Amino acid sequence: RFLDDHGELQERFLAIKHITDCTSAGIKEALVDVLDYHGLQISRLCGQGYDGASNMRGEFNGLQKLVRDEAPYAFYVHYFAHQLQLVVVNVAQCSPAIADFFNYIPLIVTQVRSSCKRKDALLAKHQDELLDLMENGKISSGTWLDQESSITRPGDTRWGSHLRTLLRIFTMWNAVVDVLGIVVVDAREHTCQGGASGLLIKMECFEFVFIMFFSINLLSTTNYLSQALQRKNQNVVEAMHLILDVKESLQDMRDNGWESLFSQAKNFCEAHDIDVPNMDDLVGAMGQSVRTKNKVTRLHYYKVTIFNVAIDATITEMNHRFNEVSTELLDCISCLNPANNFSKFNADKLIRLAEIYAEDFT
């Protein structure tokens, strides 16, 4: 986007550039070449935005820093449309246990829906469970029976698909476990039988249940923000407020959310006859072998190695994506929105915007 000679805002797709050097310096050189070709000076840039790659956003050696060395007012704003849910999943996988959990999820989904027979069995068992809950007065509405209940594989191109998949596994837990049990008994190929048996063992353990609840809580916290950032008619001010709310919610989860999360996982395990281990027992640190000399209590393993590490990584990523400078910049720019006869106009924000771009308002 740029202003032409008549002061009109223009937006152009300039070029696709083949890059052999993917370092930040190499990308910057290619960017400068494209701008020079079109008669645009890098020193005149007043904004830049990329995805979350380290060679693009790096604070010390990333492309955005190299550009700002020559164009100090080219403030970096993270590319909002980049899929936040997928980033949260990837960042949370800095914990080996969570990475292992998300490797098993698509395998479970594949096993229970790899044929029409298994799909029908899954839906039938879930339907029977809902009827049983209604008869026992645990479900008061019949609308549950009219809703489609199916499990889809989490994909990197579907918004919130990881959260939807985990919620479906949670709500259809008994049906999923029963279908895996049927596969173990009826599978003609020993590979299918062994695979289903291993997945069944993996699911019916406390660690799997704990990470499932934790992942659902973590993704639910960021889900509404993810959807807001994807809207075409995005309200920037609302998005900025949501970002602050999500950061506060994540910090509150870290400070006060452990007890409720542990209780959720424990109660679920007890209701489904899954053994809850003694939290004072010693295990290998960071999921290592029990023979390792570096041991910690199970409480430390779940609370620190999984819970704290994943939340800290997510908060750090949020701060990288939405730092104070970019958040304030977008908030100030929003006061120039002409919608509803400039109803969002704010003189204080305009003055602050002039201070940020000091050389343009001399």
Residue 340 placed within a domain: no
67 and 162 housed in the same domain? no
Q: Which residue, 22, 47, 78, sits at the end of a domain?
A: 78
Structure tokens at 345: 């106009």
71 and 218 housed in the same domain? no
Q: Distance (Å, rounded) from C-alpha 296 to C-alpha 153?
A: 34
Residues 196 and 187 sit within 8 Å (Cβ to Cβ) = yes
Residue 215 placed within a domain: yes
109 φ/ψ angles, rounded to the nearest 5 degrees: -60, -45
Q: Is the dihedral of CA 110, 115, 116, 117 positive or negative?
A: negative
70 and 119 housed in the same domain? no
Residue-range definition of the domain harbouring residue 54: 1-78
172 and 317 housed in the same domain? yes
Residue 349 placed within a domain: no
CA 308 to chain CA mean position, Å: 16
Residue 153 placed within a domain: yes
Residue 362 placed within a domain: no
197 and 227 housed in the same domain? yes
59 and 94 housed in the same domain? no
Q: DSSP characters for 268-332?
A: HHHHTT-PPPPTTSEEEGGG--TTSS-EEEHHHIIIIIIIIHHHHHHHHHHHHHS-HHHHHHHHH
CA distances from 52 to 88, 93, 235 (A): 12, 16, 22
Helix (H, G, I), strand (E, B) or coil at 231: coil
Residue 247 placed within a domain: yes
State how many domains the chain has: 2
Residues 88 and 314 sit within 8 Å (Cβ to Cβ) = yes
Helix (H, G, I), strand (E, B) or coil at 65: helix
Residue 249 placed within a domain: yes
Residue 234 placed within a domain: yes
143 and 265 housed in the same domain? yes
126 and 210 housed in the same domain? yes
Please list the pLDDT of the chain residue by residue as tens digits (362 residues).
777 888 787 888 888 988 888 888 999 999 999 999 988 888 888 888 876 667 777 777 788 889 988 888 888 877 665 556 666 776 777 888 998 998 899 899 888 877 666 666 666 666 666 566 555 555 555 444 444 455 665 655 444 578 888 988 998 888 888 888 888 887 655 555 558 888 999 999 999 999 999 999 998 888 877 777 777 666 666 777 788 888 899 999 999 999 999 999 999 999 999 999 999 998 877 666 666 667 889 999 999 999 999 999 888 888 877 777 777 887 888 888 777 888 888 899 889 888 888 887 76
